[in-house]
């Protein structure tokens, strides 16, 4: 019996979950749902549980990547054959869940990335991040020789092999991003983009606010360079079960 999991990493999202969880459930009723409460100081975990989601609470804040990886481990340990990661701040339109899942289930790809530039853009961003993302997309496209339009997208579907590959290793703690796509490429996974809609976040503070876009762009360049330097390591990374 094939089973699918929706992973919602959440840090202080108690205000958004009451809208996001029912929306996601309506859009993907055949998915189980796990909220990874990343050391929130608001009642994120209680709100998620009251809405009927499974909740994994991290006792300290790990950061986005650490939370998502916890979701991957959950998926692997509970034997799911597919997982979709979706932000719990309402930026990702849950209508995209099925398109991403179908892209992977049909065997077209091991990982499907939801691209806001292929889909509808309803969304404003600081210029630093916009310029940075263009550069990252260009770099990743050059290296992978595939047209990558939105490497920073966190709206993704992964099959069992990719989940295992990321669950215990190979995944950055802070921003899994363009560098993660390169790691996948070097390790021999097929990555495809699918068009999705992204919106302004509903409430709360984004992880990309204030001075953070500058840090983000610098950190991303460093991470991408390191993946390129480690190319051989990633190419020989063990793909369990494939």
**Binding site residues, other proteins, CB under 8 A:** 36, 54-60, 62, 66, 69-70, 73-74, 77, 173
Of the pair 53, 181, the CB lying nearest other proteins is at 53
* Other C-beta atoms lying within 10 Å of the C-beta of residue 225: 12
- Cβ distance to other proteins smaller for residue 67 or 181: 67
Task: Tell the smallest beta-carbon distance from residue 167 to other proteins (Å).
Answer: 10
Q: Per the structure block, which two tokens stand in for 81?
A: 């054959």
Nearest distance, CB of residue 96 and other proteins, angstroms: 27
- Which one, 148 or 167, has the nearer CB to other proteins? 167
Answer yes or no: are the C-beta atoms of 93 and 31 closer than 8 Å. no
DSSP letters, 163-182, are HHHHHSSS--SS--SHHHHH
Considering the complex, state which of residue 73 and residue 118 has its C-beta at the smaller distance from other proteins.
Answer: 73
The DSSP 8-state label assigned to residue 205 in this structure reads -
CB of 220 to other proteins, least distance (A): 18
What is the closest distance, in whole angstroms, from the C-beta atom of residue 233 to other proteins in the complex?
16
Token code pair at residue 34:
């796990």
Nearer to other proteins, 74 or 216 (CB): 74
Least gap, CB of 215 to other proteins (angstroms): 17
For residue 118, give both structure tokens. Answer: 């292929």
Q: Do 100 and 31 form a contact (C-beta atoms < 8 A)? A: no
Half-sphere exposure of 188 (CA within 13 A, CB side): 10
CB atoms within 10 A of CB 128: 16
Nearer to other proteins, 76 or 198 (CB): 76
Smallest gap from Cβ 60 to other proteins, in A, equals 6
d(CA 11, CA 107): 33
């Amino acid at each position: 019996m094939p089973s699918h999991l929706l992973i919602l990493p959440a840090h202080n999202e108690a205000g958004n979950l009451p809208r996001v969880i029912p929306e996601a459930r309506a859009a993907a009723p055949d998915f189980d749902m796990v909220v990874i409460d990343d050391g929130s100081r608001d009642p994120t975990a209680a709100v998620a549980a009251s809405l009927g989601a499974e909740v994994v609470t991290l006792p300290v804040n790990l950061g986005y990547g650490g939370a998502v990886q916890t979701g991957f481990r959950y998926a692997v340990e509970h034997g799911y054959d597919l997982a979709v990661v979706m932000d719990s701040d309402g930026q990702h339109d849950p209508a995209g869940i099925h398109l991403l899942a179908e892209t992977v289930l049909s065997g077209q790809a091991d990982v499907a990335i939801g691209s806001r530039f292929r889909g509808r853009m309803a969304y404003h961003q600081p210029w630093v991040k916009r310029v940075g993302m263009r550069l990252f997309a260009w770099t990743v496209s050059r290296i992978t020789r595939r047209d990558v339009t939105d490497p920073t997208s966190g709206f993704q579907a992964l099959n069992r092999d990719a989940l295992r590959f990321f669950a215990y290793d190979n995944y950055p703690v802070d921003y899994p991003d363009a560098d993660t796509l390169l790691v996948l490429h070097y390790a021999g996974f097929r990555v495809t983009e699918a068009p999705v809609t992204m919106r302004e976040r509903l409430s709360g503070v984004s992880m990309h606010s204030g001075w953070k876009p500058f840090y983000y762009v610098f950190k991303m360049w460093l991470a991408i360079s390191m993946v390129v330097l480690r190319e051989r390591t990633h190419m020989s990374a063990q793909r369990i079960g494939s």
